[in-house]
Every structure is written in structure tokens, then in C-alpha cells.
Amino acid sequence: MRNKVAILLATLFAAIVCVLGLGTGTAQADGETIFGFLFEGTGPDRVNYDGVDVTVSGPSGFEETATSDADGRWDIPVPGEGTYTVALDQETLPEGVTLRNQDLESLDVVVAFGQNKPVLFPLGEGTRNVASRWDEAAQLTAEGLRFGLIIALAAVGLSLIFGTTGLTNFAHGELVTLGGLLTYWLNSGNLPRFLPDGPQIPFIAAAAIALVLCGLLGWANDAGLWAPLRRRGTGLIAAMIVSIGLSILVRYIYLYLFGGTNQSYRSYQGQVGLDVGPITLASKDYISMGIAIVVLMATAYALLRTRLGKATRAVADNPALAAASGIDVDHVIKVVWIAGSVLAGLSGVLLGLAQGVNFQMGFQILLLIFAAVTLGGLGTAFGALLGSLVVGMFISVSTLWIPIELKNVGALGILIVVLLVRPQGILGRAQRVG
């Protein structure tokens, strides 16, 4: 199954062609300046917006407003180094043009001594004039589907590992992060500390190598830590706490190696949105959704039709009985760990494509992965898939009604509500406890 997945990935990634970069200008002025360009699109499609007001306020009552010129450029000299708040007046934007992220209407920036500090406000979604509520709902559903599929890749692996070994793996988020970090390192050539800069490997090859490494580390994780613990007879709850310790340890090693910043892959930044009906997504988003769907279907096929997949489900159902009927349980668990790690790594690669790479990207979605797995029914792979789509869509579509910063609250809240009415999850089997 792994080979199949790897080949599929390589071919699909090869289909990606659009490579666009964001251009930033430079400014020459005495003293410190904050400047930026207001535009949308790149290359020949670039549209500059003039007459937009930007206000900079800072320490000791400094406040200055500038209006963008025909190139979309604005400049505000500031009195010295320090922290300034840069705010865009959305009222002055042309009709139908909005900020891509409404939370970023004002930004706090630190200006160093003598620096000309660039500040960009990503504008977008304005190509569609005044979206109707239904269009907005369709757009959010598509974004939710994309996010749900990314969660699903990680959740299926988590659920399989839980099903076959009983381990509630809190360190699964770190496998997701690993996929993103390895791809970034290989793609950008900025290898982690103490290593010299490496070659800049194209994104597709970098992602493929990263996934192979994820599989290897997944195997090592099981062989080096979890298999010995199983042999010692360590309890499931003890193992769960060990996984929490591992998660903290690994996450801070990532922070040490990667730093606390958010980085993007070298390719596929700032793509222009493609319209499909009322939905506008970048081509990378369509392709990553396609990859996720194909990989998930391949996983489902493998589970349902192949010998190893059937053995996996047998072990998940009853390990003792599976062992008694001649299934090599240790081998199945090994394969599940490797496949689960590759799936988690792919989830991280795609998540990095959607929102950038940072040292705790996996940890940030870990609770949502858990919510998805629990919603679908603990230990059922298809439940995890369904649960992920529900969680992803719910998070995205609920922003129609609730503030965007509370979207995860809604998803976690619905988890608690579902447990009240259907404790075994959507696809789980009812189990009598007390």
C-alpha cells in the first residue's frame, strides 16, 4: 500500500505547475519608514489600488495617515525604532475588495533602527463582487472540505493506531508537524541548526522524500519506544501519558531546531484564485484536495480489499483472536505505524501548503483530530474519515454565524454534545459501560 501511495503522490504532484512569487519593492529614505503596496494578483494580472488610507500609530502619541498612490504604494516615515500599529481603513478600499483575513485589519510591527519596514495587507476575494450569503456558504464549505480532508489524513492514522494497539497517541500531532518541517527544510535548503545549507529540492521531490522519512521515523518510533513498552506490558493509560511526554519533548526540539516563526514553502505562494461556480480557491488547494481524496480512497481500498488490510481490521477488532487465527499481530502493528505516520506526514505537507509551516502546526490541530476520531467512533477508520469532514466543515461554515476566533470552540463544543446523545460516536458500536 505504501508503494502505491508514494507513486500516486509523485504523479499527482507532478501535475502541479503554477509557481508564482510575491514581489516586494524596496524603499530608500532617511531614518525609519513603514511602507507597503496594496495590490491583488501578480504579474500581468496585478491590480494596484490607489486612494486607500493606512494609519500608523505608535509610542508617545505618534499617528500619521498616508494614502496609496497609483502603484498602490504608501509610505509613512516614523520617528524612530519601536513598535507601531499599522491599520488599514477598509472603508477606503474600492467596492468589492476586502482583506483576505479580516483579523489582520491592523498589525503590530517592530521597526528596527534605520529599517524600512515593509507591511503587506493581503487583499483578495474581491474579484467576486459583494458575495451573497449562499455564495459565502459554498466558499466556506469548500474551505471546510479542504481542512476536513487534511484532518482526515491524520485522523485515519491515529484511529488505526488506536484500533490496533489501544494507544491514544498524543504525539500524533508531532508526526503531522514532521511532514511539514521536513518538506520545508528540503524545499528551502535552510537545513536545521548545525547543518550547512543544502540544495533547494523541488517541492514535489522534497515532499516525497519527507514522506519516506516520516514512514521511517514512524517505524523507528514504534520499534524504539512503543513495541518495547507493549512487551513490558505497560498499561494503556501509562502509555498515553508517555505519549504526552514525547509530544512535549519533540515539540520543543522542533522549536529549538526550527525557531518560532511561520515559514512558507518556496513554491506555490500567492497563487491567484480559480473560480469554480461560487467557489474561489487557489489551484494548489484543488490539487491538495484531490491528493487527499485519492490517498484516503486508496487507504479505504487497502483496508477493505487487501489481505493486510483485512488483517488490520481483524487486529483492531480483537487482537487475541486475530493472533490465534494466524495473523502476525506485530507485523500488522508495524505496518499500521508506518502507514499512519506517512498519512500524518502527508497531512502536514498539505497543511503547510495551506497555512504555512511552524513548529506546533500539528499540535494546534491535534485536538481537532481527536474530536474527529471521537465523533466518528474511537478506533473505526471510516468513522475517523466521516468525523474529520464533519469537524472541518463545521469549523469553516460556522464562521457564518460565530466570530472567526471562536470557530474551534464550536467544533470542540459539538464534540461534547455528540457524546451526550450518541456516546459511541457516529459510526462506533455501542458498548455497555456500567
Partner 1 sequence: MNWEQIIVNALEASVGLQAVVFALAAIGLNVHFGYTGLLNFGQSAFLAVAAYGLAVMVSTFGLSFWVGILVGLVGAVILALLLGVPTLRLRADYLAIVTIAAAEIVRLIARSVTFADTFGGSDGRQAFAGGFYDLNPYPEGSYNIGSFGFGERAMWILTVGWTLVALSCLIVFLLMRSPWGRVLKAIREDEDAVRSLGKNVYSYKMQSLIIGGVLGSLGGFVYALGQASIQPDIFGTETTFYVYTVLILGGAARVASPVVGAMIFWVVLSLTDNILNQAIDAGYISTSIITNSQVGQVRFMLVGLALMLLMIFRPQGIFGDRKEIALDAR
423 contacts partner 1 (rule: CB under 8 A):
yes
Nearer to partner 1 (CB atom), residue 138 or residue 365: 365
Tally helices (H) and strands (E) across the chain: 13, 13
Nearer to partner 1, 170 or 184 (CB): 170
By CB under 8 A, tell whether 107 contacts partner 1. no
Write down the least CB distance from residue 115 to partner 1, Å: 21
Residues in the interface with partner 1 (CB under 8 A) total 42
CA nearest to 316, candidates 235, 152, 428: 428
C-alpha–C-alpha distance, residues 393 and 378, integer Å: 20
Residue 223: CB minimum distance to partner 1, A: 16
Q: How far is the CB of 128 from partner 1 (least distance, A)?
A: 26
Number of Cα atoms under 13 Å in the Cβ half of residue 82? 14
d(CA 379, CA 158) in angstroms, rounded, equals: 8
* Beta-bridge partner residues of 73: 37
From 106-114, 315-323, 341-349, 365-373, give the range in contact with partner 1 by CB under 8 A.
Answer: 365-373
What is the pattern of x (binds partner 1, CB under 8 A) and - over residues 136-175? --------------------------------x-------
420 is a site residue for partner 1 (CB under 8 A): yes
Between CA 423 and CA 227 the distance in angstroms is 31
Residue type, 200: Q
**What is the identity of the amino acid at 392?**
G
Minimum distance, C-beta of residue 92 to partner 1, in the bound complex (Å): 23
Q: Is 409 in the site for partner 1 (CB under 8 A)?
A: yes
Among 5, 349, 371, 390, binds partner 1 (CB under 8 A): 371
Among 70, 130, 320, 433, binds partner 1 (CB under 8 A): 433
Nearest to 48 by CA among 18, 87, 74: 74
Nearer to partner 1 by Cβ, of 251 and 266: the residue is: 251
Count of Cβ atoms closer than 10 Å to residue 284 Cβ: 19
Cα of 42 vs its chain's centroid, Å: 24
Grid cell, residue 8, equals 500516486
Residue type at position 433: V
Residues 208-267 that bind partner 1 (CB under 8 A): 229, 234-238, 240-242, 244-253, 255-256
Burial class (CB in 10 A: 0-12, 13-18, 19+), 295: buried
Judged by beta carbon, residue 73 or residue 407, the one nearer partner 1 is: 407
- Does residue 143 contact residue 155 with C-beta atoms inside 8 Å? no
Cβ proximity to partner 1: between 168 and 188 the closer is 168
Contacting residues toward partner 1, per CB under 8 A: 168, 229, 234-238, 240-242, 244-253, 255-256, 367, 370-371, 374, 378, 403, 405-406, 408-409, 412-413, 415-416, 419-420, 423, 431, 433-434
